[in-house]
Structure 1
Amino acid sequence: MSEQKTLSNQLVKMAIEIGPLALFFIANSRWGIFTATGVFMIAIVISVCCSYLIEKKIPILALVTAFVVLIFGGLTLVLNDALFIKIKPTIVNLLFAFALFSGLAFKKLFLKIIFQGAFNIKDAGWRILTYRWGSFFIFLAVLNEIVWRTVSTDMWVNFKVFAIMPITIIFSLFQLAVVNKYKK
């Protein structure tokens, strides 16, 4: 019963994380980028609220992402300019990279602080993961800039939904070797 509840909780968490992006994609394909942006903003707020109700806390990454979505989504809608929602992933990824690399510079391992309950690894492993994730976030920021500047809005939305998630999952899986190597 406990394993079934854990699986159920993981599926709910995944739905909370992926739900806003899926709704963004669906709304964009039916009504366009501006309606999709509004739907995304509402969905991200609901997602953060659901996270709080389930976990009794709001993960910092979700909070930062929601804040940036609301700012850039709001700018998109108020100024009627899709540029702002398109650069939102760039800004979020650069913020995460900056935070991780700043932490390294000041000898703070933010990934360890955030994920310590999930992984019990040595500080050397956390440093490697921090460097890799910081670099990965920069890669995603650059990739987003290239894509939104070179393809249509609909293609950019497809890229955001169907490319970024698999790229991130694949990158995450490659990090398991570090987790295994540096287990305590």
Structure 2
Amino acid sequence: MADKHPQPRKVPVAKVVGKPVPAGLKLGLELGPVLAFFVAYIWLRDRTFMIGGTEYEAFILITAAFVPVMVICSGILWKLSGHLSRMQVVTLVLVVVFGGLTVWLNDDRFFKMKPTIIYALFAGVLGVGLLRGQSWLQYVMDGMMPLQHAGWMLLTKRLAMFFAVLAVANEVIWRTMSTDAWVNFKTFVLPLALFGFFILQSKLFERYSSAPKDET
């Protein structure tokens, strides 16, 4: 005899990763090092320092301070939440590598090209996944957003192209403009561009959401 009360269909939902962290604290730990870098640069940009017989511009020494601050803030975030996304880990590794090269070789070009490498790497990795018919963005973001497969694919395509544009923009700016212009671009334009990108995807999130809808 057929069951008159069929079980409701299960709908996939986003995976919750790590422990919740207050939004303000999380934002401070993620953006605090960048804002501190900006403030320190504005304060010291016209000064040079002699250390161990070698002359260093303020940019180099601020970079030397930025790297451990970034590591400490990421460590605190990991301690509080018990989790760092793969994208955060990759970014942190590149900050340490290129920041270290900048200080070691006393050459600010390495730190300035870091965003180019990061965004080009992300664009390339996402592009390879798309060619394989997969959304590696979903894997990188640990399934934090409840999207259908078609939504993940479309979001991945858009974000890959957006990252490619950011990589080109950073390369053009640091090679053709002043350090002041690049610092402003890195501190304000890049974060605002990323924020704006995800705001503009609201229709995509709504259309392809796989989260269960409330019944009235």
Same fold (TM > 0.5): yes
Say if 1:93 and 1:138, in contact at 8 Å, map to a contact too: yes
Q: Which has the higher contact order (CA 8 A, sep 6+)?
A: 2
SS in structure 2 of the partner of residue 21 of structure 1:
helix
Q: Deviations over 1:36-73 (max 9, x none)?
A: 21122012101220121011122111111111111111
Say if 2:85 and 2:141, in contact at 8 Å, map to a contact too: no
Q: Deviations over 1:112-166 (max 9, x none)?
A: 2244553211100100000111111101000001111121112210111121111
Say if 2:115 and 2:170, in contact at 8 Å, map to a contact too: yes
Residue 111 of structure 2 is matched in structure 1 by 85
Residue 22 of structure 1 is matched in structure 2 by 35
C-alpha distance in structure 2 between counterparts of 1:116 and 1:125, whole Å = 15
Q: 1:36 to 1:86 in 2, by over 3 A?
A: same
Residue 78 of structure 2 is matched in structure 1 by 52
Alignment of 1:172-183 (within 5 A): 172-183=198-209
Residue 131 of structure 1 is matched in structure 2 by 157
Say if 2:101 and 2:110, in contact at 8 Å, map to a contact too: yes
Q: Which deviates further from its counterpart, 7-16 or 140-149?
A: 7-16
Alignment of 1:58-77 (within 5 A): 58-77=84-103
For structure 1, the residue ranges without an aligned partner over 5 or more in a row are 1-5
Q: Deviations over 1:73-111 (max 9, x none)?
A: 111111111100000000000111112112222233222
Deviation at 1:7, TM superposition (A): 9.4
SS in structure 2 of the partner of residue 163 of structure 1:
helix
Alignment of 1:104-119 (within 5 A): 104-115=130-141, 117-119=143-145
> Of the candidates 153, 162, 168, which is equivalent to residue 179 of structure 2?
153
Q: 1:9 to 1:116 in 2, by over 3 A?
A: same
Q: How many residue pairs align between the two structures?
A: 179
TM-score using structure 2 length: 0.78
